[in-house]
């Protein structure tokens, strides 16, 4: 049976319900996505590698298992993973020409969990080179070319989880896995109008995932509906995280703190009006809301120092083996390193950064004694053009506090669609919760999505 676009665009949870009711088969759904990928991949470049044979085998196995009585929310659901996440026997490039032939021997833990849950692997999704570490400042520098945004193919899909963001938005998979070290789920979620969960640090295994920075890296789902993220996190989490209240009803019982400014100029008039409207939606839902002042800490340099120090060690072998010389080379490797040398980072900087991160944790613990979640306007920019260099950054007051603090402390967060500009570009909203209270962030997102349809709007490219 041919599966139409109206089915392929559904949230994963609704696809799961149809599979469970056996009104839809995994084989048909998978064929539908593969056909759409074949049509859209040349336009968007969101896959590095498509795995049709693997997908068809997985789907047939899932349908057979269901016919034999097996159940499960992810059974037969097709997905893609960011190409820094290892897949046994399938190349995992880290988004760099230096690793075009890198084929892992074993699956990352997250892939193994999804396989065990019966999910169907469609392929590997694009990422900026090394997930932005030491990377290029040109959006065009992606494997196969620029990672294009389905809302406007002249614009960038964001980074570093570009492929997961674009593929989920364009309806090329039921769900995707992305990763974040400092904004890499949040940014492409906002720019593509998808819902992204950055889980609590350590709640999801990082084994088999390219390391950017050990103490900052997180793997999380990127989906079309907050309820999808609940479903996927349940399969991914290596710790017993409660998710029972991660529903719209659970969201209505939350105490909400909000911030109006994230430290950036507004990127578009619609950003402010969408945020004001979002607050109205939440107030109308009956949740108590109060303004919150965020702590003033050295969070940004603390994350910066941590990232630089840890990534230089993490990529030591990559650099030593000469792979850096095969990266996109608009700036040479010596040029990149020269700048770092000028910084003069010391061991005490790293130690101090970790102490600052503990300060951030304590400050947010105090906030979360008063409220359950913090919500604010999300990623503060619109998607930039794919054919130009990303603009320079010199000033220091460009602090995206919620995202930086959340990553510094290891807090869970959800980015979800908040609205659109007059020209139809997505705007995101950001929700942060206390450690291991991922369900609270998801519950608020579910509550918001129960009252709005931004997340159901589909891009022109789909």
Residue closer to other proteins by CB (options 132, 195) is 132
**Which positions from 248 through 307 interact with other proteins, judged by CB under 8 A?**
264-265, 267, 297-298, 300-302, 304-307
* 373: three-class secondary structure by DSSP: strand
Is residue 425 within 8 A of residue 383, CB to CB? The reply is yes
**In this chain, which stretch among 17-25, 212-220, 286-294, 419-427 interacts with other proteins, using CB under 8 A?**
212-220
CA distance 426 to 377: 12
> Does residue 368 touch other proteins according to CB under 8 A?
no
The total number of residues shown for the chain amounts to 462
Instruction: Pick the closer one to other proteins by CB: 135 or 163.
Output: 135
Catalytic residue among 16, 26, 82, 126: 82
Residue 158 interacting with other proteins (CB under 8 A): yes
Does 266 participate in catalysis according to the annotation? Answer: no
The answer to whether the beta carbons of residues 218 and 238 sit under 8 Å apart is no
CB of 180 to other proteins, least distance (A): 8
Choose, by CB under 8 A, the member of 3, 24, 274, 308 that binds other proteins: 308
> Residue 429's beta-bridge partner residues?
377, 416
Question: Which 215-234 positions form the footprint of other proteins (CB under 8 A)?
Answer: 215-216
Interface with other proteins in residues 165-184 (CB under 8 A): 181-184
Exposed/middle/buried for residue 363 (C-beta within 10 Å: 0-12, 13-18, 19+): middle
DSSP 8-state symbol, 269: H
Q: How far is the CB of 433 from other proteins (least distance, A)?
A: 11
- Nearest approach, Cβ of 33 to other proteins (angstroms)? 27
To the nearest whole angstrom, how small is the minimum distance from the Cβ of residue 409 to other proteins?
Answer: 7
Look up 160 and say whether it is catalytic.
yes
Terminal C-alpha separation, the chain: 20
- For 189-220, b/e burial (b = at least 16 CB within 10 A) is bbbbbbbbbbbbbebbbbebbbbbbebbbbbb
Q: Active site residue: 184, 189, 285, 415, which one?
A: 184
- To other proteins, the closest distance from the beta carbon of 353 in angstroms equals 6
Among 74, 167, 241, 386, binds other proteins (CB under 8 A): 241
Q: Is the Cβ of residue 71 or residue 242 nearer to other proteins in the bound state?
A: 242
Segment 83 to 142, residues that bind other proteins, using CB under 8 A? 128, 131-135, 137
Question: What is the C-alpha to C-alpha distance for residues 216 and 184, in angstroms, rounded to an integer?
Answer: 11
Site mask for other proteins (CB under 8 A), range 18-47, x = bound:
------------------------------
Q: Does 64 bind other proteins (CB under 8 A)?
A: no
Q: How far apart are CA 91 and CA 104, in angstroms?
A: 7
Record the tokens describing residue 98, joined without a space. Answer: 């230096």
Q: Supply φ then ψ for residue 149, to 5 degrees.
A: -90, 125
Q: Give the Cα separation of 18 and 27 in Å (integer).
A: 13
Considering only residues 383 through 442, tell me which ones interact with other proteins, judged by CB under 8 A.
384, 390-398, 400, 403-404, 407, 409-411, 435-436
Q: Which one from 126, 136, 160, 215 is the annotated catalytic residue? A: 160
Write each residue from 374 to 393 as x if it is in contact with other proteins (CB under 8 A), else as -, in one continuous string. -----xxxx-x-----xxxx
Residue 49 vs 361, nearer CB to other proteins:
361
User: Which region among 85-93, 115-123, 227-235, 345-353 touches other proteins (by CB under 8 A)?
Assistant: 345-353
Contacts with 271 (C-beta within 8 Å, 6 or more apart), sequence order: 377, 380, 421, 427
DSSP readout, 55-118? HHHHHHHHHHHHHTT---TTTT-EEEEETTB-BTTB---TT-GGGTT---SS--HHHHHHHHTT
Could you tell me how many residues of this chain bind other proteins (CB under 8 A)?
A: 86
Annotation says 82 is catalytic: yes
> Which H/E stretch holds residue 411?
none
Between 212 and 256, CB nearer to other proteins = 212
Query: Of residues 358, 370, 423, 460, which one binds other proteins by CB under 8 A?
Result: 358
Catalytic residues: 82, 160, 184
């Amino acid at each position: 049976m041919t599966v139409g676009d109206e089915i392929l665009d559904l949230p994963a949870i609704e696809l799961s319900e149809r599979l469970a009711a056996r009104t839809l088969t995994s084989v048909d759904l998978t064929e539908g996505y593969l056909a759409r990928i074949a049509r859209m991949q040349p336009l968007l470049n969101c896959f590095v590698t498509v795995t049709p044979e693997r997908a068809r085998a997985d789907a047939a196995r899932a349908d057979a298992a269901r016919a034999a009585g097996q159940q499960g929310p992810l059974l037969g659901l097709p997905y893609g993973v960011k190409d820094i996440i290892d897949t046994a026997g399938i190349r995992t490039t880290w988004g760099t020409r230096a690793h075009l032939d890198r084929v892992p021997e074993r699956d990352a833990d997250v892939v193994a969990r999804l396989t065990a849950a019966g999910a169907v692997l469609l392929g590997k999704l694009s990422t900026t080179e090394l997930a932005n570490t030491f990377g290029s400042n040109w959006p065009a520098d992606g494997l196969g070319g620029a990672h294009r945004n389905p809302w406007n193919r002249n614009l960038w899909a964001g980074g570093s989880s570009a492929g997961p963001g674009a593929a989920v938005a364009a309806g090329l998979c039921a769900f995707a896995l992305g990763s974040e070290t400092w904004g890499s789920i949040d940014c492409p979620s906002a720019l593509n109008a998808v819902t992204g969960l950055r889980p609590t640090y350590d709640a999801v295994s990082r084994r088999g995932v390219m390391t950017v920075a050990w103490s900052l890296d997180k793997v999380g789902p990127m989906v079309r509906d907050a309820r999808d993220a609940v479903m996927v996190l349940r399969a991914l989490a290596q710790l017993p995280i409660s998710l029972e209240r991660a529903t719209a009803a659970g969201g209505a019982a939350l105490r909400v703190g909000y911030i109006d400014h994230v430290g950036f100029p507004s990127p578009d008039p619609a950003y402010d009006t969408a945020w004001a409207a979002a607050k109205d939606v939440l107030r109308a839902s009956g949740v108590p809301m109060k303004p919150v002042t965020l702590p003033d800490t050295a969070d940004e340099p603390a994350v910066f120092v941590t990232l630089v120090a840890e990534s230089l060690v993490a990529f030591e072998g990559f650099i030593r083996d000469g792979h850096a010389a095969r990266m996109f080379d608009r700036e040479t490797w010596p040029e990149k390193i020269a700048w770092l040398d000028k910084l003069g980072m010391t061991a005490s900087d790293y130690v101090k950064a970790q102490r600052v991160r503990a300060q951030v944790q304590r400050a947010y613990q105090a906030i979360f004694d008063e409220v359950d979640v913090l919500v604010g306007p999300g990623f503060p920019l619109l998607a930039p053009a794919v054919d130009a260099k990303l603009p320079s950054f010199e000033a220091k007051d460009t602090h995206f506090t919620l995202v930086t603090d959340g990553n510094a402390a290891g807090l869970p967060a959800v980015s979800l669609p908040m609205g659109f500009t007059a020209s139809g570009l997505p705007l995101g909203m950001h929700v942060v919760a206390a450690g291991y209270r991922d369900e609270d962030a998801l519950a608020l997102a579910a509550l918001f999505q129960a009252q709005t349809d931004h997340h159901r709007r589909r891009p022109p490219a789909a």
